Structure 1
Amino acid sequence: MRTLKKNSALLSLNTATLGHRSPLEKVVDAAARKGFGSIVPWRRDLEGRSVEMLARHIRDAGLNVNALCRSTYFPQPTPELRKDALEDNKRALETAAILGADCYVLVVGSLTGGSKDLAGARQQVKDGVSELLDTAEKLGVPLALEPLHPMTAGDRSCLNTLGQALNWCDELDPDNRGCLGVAVDVYHLWWDEGLERDIARAGMNNRILGYHVSDWLVPTLDLVTDRGMMGDGVIDLPGIRRWVEQAGYQGSVEVEIFSSENWWQRDEEQVLETCIDRITRLC
């Protein structure tokens, strides 16, 4: 496997790891200082700000933007709201292009308004992604489908396995135009007995656009905001990275930790130092 120690080009910080407490400029400067080579901002980090100025600040700090998080949910209770969501995602793609982001992460959404029609929600997602493909290709910002753990199937994501995401890629982008792929997040996928096979399949089609690390705590106190720091849980992080790199992935290792009662309460400098240490020693 690639050596991560002192290799900033391979280390990426998702800004959610710090809990969105500080302005993006401060996070960018701290990340660069600690040894990260890339950053993944969330759209909330950009609200009311000049995207052009922020993009310049990121470049001046020597960082790459390896993704923009995240999409507006595609399933909506009315056709008008579905259209609004699609237009919002198109605007986000334009923002991602200004930032020079390597991809736009799609967390797709699921059931709405008391619906139990999971198949219908999935069709709405596929219809919406299909509508975005031309814009993504035109702007040069690929769409990264991110499957989430099945615990989220009722609200946050009706896309729940890597194999399912790859099936959608094949269905929506059969010619593999380079504008649709997947993000492999260990927190959401570590449990899947077909993961090694599906990572290899993704690599064969050059579909892996991102690789996210954290850890699964036992017990987990909150299924969304109690992710563990790498090494504090039960995920075989080196094993999964080995599969991803054997599949041909050469991008960054992105730390993405939602931890409202632990890491989001700690000093940001300490969090960044711990992330660097854990990524380089344990991932």
Structure 2
Amino acid sequence: MTVGDAVREAAQRLSATSDTARLDAELLMAHATGTTRSDLLMRHMREPAPTGFAALVERRSANEPVAHILGRQEFFGLDFAVTKDTLIPRGDSETIVQAALDHARLDARALDMGTGSGALLLAFLSARPVATGIGIDISSAALAVAQGNSETLGLQDRADFRVTSWLDDGWADDLGKFDLILCNPPYVEDDAKLDPDVRNFEPASALFAGPEGLDDYRAIAPQLGKLLLPGGIAVLEIGWKQAGAVSAIARESGFETELRHDLAGRPRALILR
């Protein structure tokens, strides 16, 4: 069987569990053949299919995310390692990075709250060569991934990662103040219906935030003022139905808000001043 035949069969099989079945099949085949997707499509479709491809398709058909199978995910033009201990960086979250780049000073000192794989902080630092930052997360396993990503991207000298929970008393006492705060907190309602590849494979602690999905915003917003330098901003990711509720929470803590939409036109980021 050729690579092309195997990709077509895999796409047909994966269509029962994935809305991106053909893309999934091509990415898995590129991984199995040790090449890029574009190179696969241009040069390898008539070659014999590698024997390891079937096992990758089996994993995807059981709803395991492609990013977990590949061990990596592209975000903001950069390649990030991901594991079961981190959320998979998604294109929607690039809205947060772009908002930060549009407003933060060139030499900003940044804090990424709930950094996970480090995607938000490291994407920002990669575009701001003199900026520095700290990423915090409650998960030491996630921070190990973030540290590895910082080293792969050559940003380890400007990024520091610490095990910290914003729910603990005094958690920010030794952090100092920041020009920029980035945060993609848990914001999914506890009873929300999620696709199996999210609910069964991504860390629940990074997803769920109470019956309304607002618990972490209520914990975070009152603490931001003491962390920001004069003229500083915070950029929070929100669920697409949460703009009004999170804006109200932010206003209660003395912030003005500006809403940003993602590429699909959905509310995605709140800029707090």
- TM-score of the superposed pair, with normalisation by structure 2: 0.33
Q: Which has the higher contact order (CA 8 A, sep 6+)?
A: 1
TM-score (norm 1): 0.32
| Larger strand share, 1 or 2 | 2
User: Larger Rg: 1 or 2?
Assistant: 2
- Name the structure with the higher helix share: 1
